[in-house]
Chain A
Amino acid sequence: EAGVAQSPRYKIIEKRQSVAFWCNPISGHATLYWYQQILGQGPKLLIQFQNNGVVDDSQLPKDRFSAERLKGVDSTLKIQPAKLEDSAVYLCASSGKRDTQYFGPGTRLTVL
C-alpha cells in the first residue's frame, strides 16, 4: 500500500512570495489533514477535510493560508504572501475508518 505522498520536499522562498504544497493521501482515506510543525514543537493542525468538505480550519491563518481538496482526493495548501514565521515543515496526513493518522514525508519550507 502506497503511503501519503507530498511535494515538493523542500522549498526556499523570499518573504512576500507565494508557495503551494501538494498532497496525495492513501487511497480510500476520506480524511485529510494539513499540519504545520515548527522546529522543536509538535505538529499543529491547520485544516482537516472529510472528503472534499472542511471539518476544522479553526487554526488556519485565513488571511494568507488557503487549502482545497476539490475532488476529495488530492489537496493543495497555499501560502500567499509568505512571512518569515511560516518557516516550518508542512505535514499532510490521512486517515480511514480507524482513527490512525498516516503522515507523509512533509515539505520543509524556508522563508528568507
Chain B
Amino acid sequence: GQQVMQIPQYQHVQEGEDFTTYCNSSTTLSNIQWYKQRPGGHPVFLIQLVKSGEVKKQKRLTFQFGEAKKNSSLHITATQTTDVGTYFCAFRRMGLRGSARQLTFGSGTQLTVLP
C-alpha cells in the first residue's frame, strides 16, 4: 500500500530558530494539505498544495510540494511560542477509484518551542 512518512516525529527548538517538517510518499499524491493541532485542540487547516513544484507562503510559514508530487515540506522561520503544536500533512491518493477521495493523515511532527 501507499507509504507516507512524516519526519521528524518530535522537534524541540529554541524560540527564534527555524523549523521544518517533511512528508515523503512512495507514490504520487493528488494533493497535500497541512494542518496544525494545538495541545488539547483539534486540527486546523493551514494550506492545500495541488500543483507540482508549488510553493505557498503564510507569513513565517512556507509550504512546498515537490516536483514529482511525492514529497512536501512545511518550514517555519523564526519560531515563536505560539507555533507550539503538532503539524500534520494529509494527502489524497492519485488515480485510485473508490478510496481516492479519502484524506489520510500523516503521523504528525510535534513541535516544542523553548522560550
Which A residues lie at the B interface, using CB under 8 A? 33, 41-45, 48, 55-56, 58, 91, 93, 99-106
User: With the chains together, A70 CA to B104 CA distance in Å?
Assistant: 26
Q: Which residues of chain B are near A44, meaning CB under 8 Å?
A: 105
Inter-subunit contact B42/A41 (CB<8 Å):
no
CB-CB under 8 A from B85, the residues of chain A are none
Instruction: Tell me whether B105 and A42 are in contact (CB under 8 A).
Output: yes
The reply to whether A100 and B103 contact each other, CB–CB distance below 8 Å, is no
Alpha-carbon gap, A44 to B102, bound state (A): 10
* 6 A-B pairs with least C-beta separation: A42-B105, A103-B42, A100-B45, A43-B105, A103-B43, A42-B88
Asked whether B103 lies within 8 Å of A102 as measured between CB atoms, the reply is no
Residues of chain A within 8 A (CB-CB) of B94 are: none
What's the A-B contact tally at a CB cutoff of 8 Å? 45
| Residues A56 and B101 in contact, CB atoms below 8 Å apart | yes
Q: Which of B61-91 contact A (CB under 8 A)?
A: 88, 90
Cα(A93)–Cα(B45), bound, Å: 11
Chain B: minimal CB distance from A2 (Å): 15
Question: Would you call A56 and B102 a contact (CB within 8 A)?
Answer: yes
- A99, B48: Cα distance in complex, Å: 9
The contact string, 1 if C-beta is below 8 Å from chain A, for chain B 85-111, is 000101000000011011111111000
Q: Which residues of A contact B108 (CB under 8 A)?
A: 41-42
Chain A to chain B contacts (Cβ below 8 Å), 6 pairs = A41-B107, A44-B105, A91-B42, A101-B103, A103-B42, A104-B42
**Contact between chains at B42 and A106 (CB < 8 Å):** yes
Q: Does B112 contact A (CB under 8 A)?
A: no
Among B44, B102, B106, residue most surrounded by chain A Cβ atoms (within 10 Å) = B102
Q: In chain B, what residue has the closest Cβ to A91?
A: B42
B33 interface residue (CB < 8 Å to A): yes
